[in-house]
Amino acid sequence: MSNRKGLLFHEYFLEWIELYKVGAVREVTLSKYQMSYTRLKELAPDVLLKNIDRREYQRILNKYAETHEKQTTMDFHHQLKGALLDAMDENLIPTNPTRKVVIKGKIPRKKKTKYISQFDLQKLLDELFLPTFFNHDWLILLIAKTGLRFSEALAVTPSDFNFAYQTLSISKTWNYKEVNGHFQETKNHSSKRHIQLDWKTTMQFAQMVEGLPSHHPIFINGRVFNSTVNHRLKRLCEKADVPVISIHGLRHTHASLLLFAGVSIASVARRLGHANMTTTQQIYLHIIQELENQDNDKIMRYLSNF
C-alpha cells in the first residue's frame, strides 16, 4: 500500500497475514487469523496503525474480552502482537504497544468432561451398534482404540492397515469442513506415524475392509459433520449412563488411560502425533501430577524398607 501513514490497523494486519501466513500455515490455522482480522475490523474500524499505543491496544483487547473467555482473548492478542512487533521493526510504530498488556475475559463456561474412566469407556463401547457396513459407531470405536484426531480417522483407507503387523499408518487427514471433502496434509510432521493396534481391533477391521477400494476413505460416503458424530456419541453416552464426552474427548480418554496404565509420556506423545512431549505434558498436566503423587508414595514405601 502506497500511503503507509494513513494505513489502518486492520488493513496492516490483513496485509501481514497475506504476506507471512498464507502458504506458511495450515488452512485451519489461517482461518483463525482471518477470523481475528474480521473481529479487529469490527472493533477498530477507523484506528490508524500509527496511532496504536498501549492505551489504544488495551482498549481493543478489553472490547474483545467482553464477549470472549480469557484464553480466547490471549490467542487473539498473540496474533495481533506478531503483526505489531513486525510493524515496529518496520518503523511504522515507534514502540511496542503490547508491552505489559492485561488479558481479561468473561467468566468461562462450565467445562465439559474431557475424558472418562476405563470402566465407563467399556460401558460406552458395549452400546455401539457395529453392523456389516461402516457407520458412525465404527468411527467412534476406531478413535477410542487409537486416539486419532477426527480428521485423521476420516482419512483412513483400507491400504493404511497392515494386518500382519497390527499397525495403522497415519499419513493424511480429511478436510471435512468443505462441501467437497478431500485429503490434505497432517497437522504436523510428527502426526505422520504408525499406530499399533490390539488384536481384537485388528480382526474387526480386517473383516470389514475386505473387498473395499484400497485407497478410498472407509468412513466417507457423502459429507460428514463433526456435530453429527458428536450427537451420536452423546446419545451413546446417555444410553450407557456415563459422562457425556465429545469425539475429541475420546482422544483425551485414550491418552489418559494409557498414562494411568504406566505408559511413558514419550510413547503417548508419539501415539497421539504430538510435535513434542511438552505438548503432551501441558495437555495432561493434571494426570501427570496425580501420577507423580502416586510415585512419591511408592518412593517413600521403598525407601522405608532399608
pLDDT of the residue at 114: 84
Residue type, 67: T
CATH of range 118-293; options 3.40.605.10, 3.40.720.10, 3.30.479.10, 1.10.443.10: 1.10.443.10
For 193, the enclosing helix (H) or strand (E) is: strand 193-196
Domain range summary for the chain, segments of one domain joined by +: 9-89, 118-293
Q: What's the pLDDT at 2? A: 45
| One-letter identity of residue 26 | R
Domain 9-89: assigned CATH number: 1.10.150.130
Please check whether residue 158 is in contact with residue 213, taking contact to mean a CB–CB distance below 8 angstroms.
yes
Judge if 9-89 and 118-293 fold alike in CATH terms: no
Going by C-alpha positions, the residue among 7, 101, 9 that lies closest to residue 55 is: 101
Q: What is the pTM of this model?
A: 0.66
> Which positions ≥6 away from 225 have C-beta within 8 Å?
176
Q: How far apart are CA 136 and CA 231, in angstroms?
A: 10
Answer for the pair 61, 79: CB distance below 8 angstroms, yes or no. Answer: no
pLDDT by residue for the chain (306 residues), tens only, comes to 446 768 999 999 999 999 999 999 888 789 899 999 999 999 999 999 999 999 999 999 999 999 999 989 999 999 999 999 999 999 999 999 999 999 999 887 766 678 899 999 999 999 999 999 999 999 999 999 999 999 999 999 999 999 999 999 999 999 999 998 999 999 888 899 999 999 999 999 999 999 999 999 999 999 999 999 999 999 999 999 999 999 999 999 999 999 989 899 999 999 999 988 888 888 888 787 777 777 777 787 878 877
Give 273-288 as a 3 state SS string.
Answer: CCCCHHHHHHHCHHHH
CA distance linking residue 158 with residue 202, whole number of Å: 12
List the grid coordinates of 269.
506423545
Integer CA distances (angstroms), 226 to 17, 110, 149, 221, in order = 28, 21, 11, 14
